[in-house]
Amino acid sequence: MKSDSEKQLETRNIKPTAMRELVLKVLSEQTAAISLADLEQKFEKADKVTLYRTLKTFEENKLIHSIDDGTGSVKYALCKETCQCHPEDLHVHFLCTKCKQTYCLTDIPVPSINLPTHFTLENINMVVKGVCSNCPK
């Protein structure tokens, strides 16, 4: 009998190894996006490179998306089931300058932009910085 995470991995064509299930579990427990270093610390003993490659695999298969919030370490968060990481799937991200957490504002789609003529669009990264609702003003 297959676990939920097993199925979740398989629908994204990722072979469900023990390691991958564990990483997926950690990711699904997060309320904010997580860096490779953060992820490493969630495990007693796990190799950074294996986690790194696990995240790469997850990202390539659109199970997660990466967020470059300008802090110097890339964050990762689970995609929605239906997400294909196309421009229309994208949402705004928020980096709190107080608690340094990076949140997916999944309810806020990235606004569409009228590019100059003969520019084509492939992707948009929109990161808002400020103070989040959990932090004192």
- By CB under 8 A, name the binding residues for a second copy: 68, 70, 92, 94, 97, 105, 107-108, 111, 113-133, 137
The owner of tokens 């992820």 is 39
- CA proximity to 34, closest of 80, 67, 81: 67
Judged by beta carbon, residue 11 or residue 134, the one nearer a second copy is: 134
Rounded Cα gap, residues 135 and 137, in angstroms: 6
Q: Which stretch binds DNA (CB under 7 A): 31-39, 91-99, 101-109, 124-132?
A: 31-39
- Binding letters toward DNA, positions 54-83, x by CB under 7 A: x-xx--------------xxx---------
Q: List the structure tokens of 72.
A: 């110097």
Least Å distance, CB 116 to DNA, is 26
Q: List the structure tokens of 129.
A: 């910085």
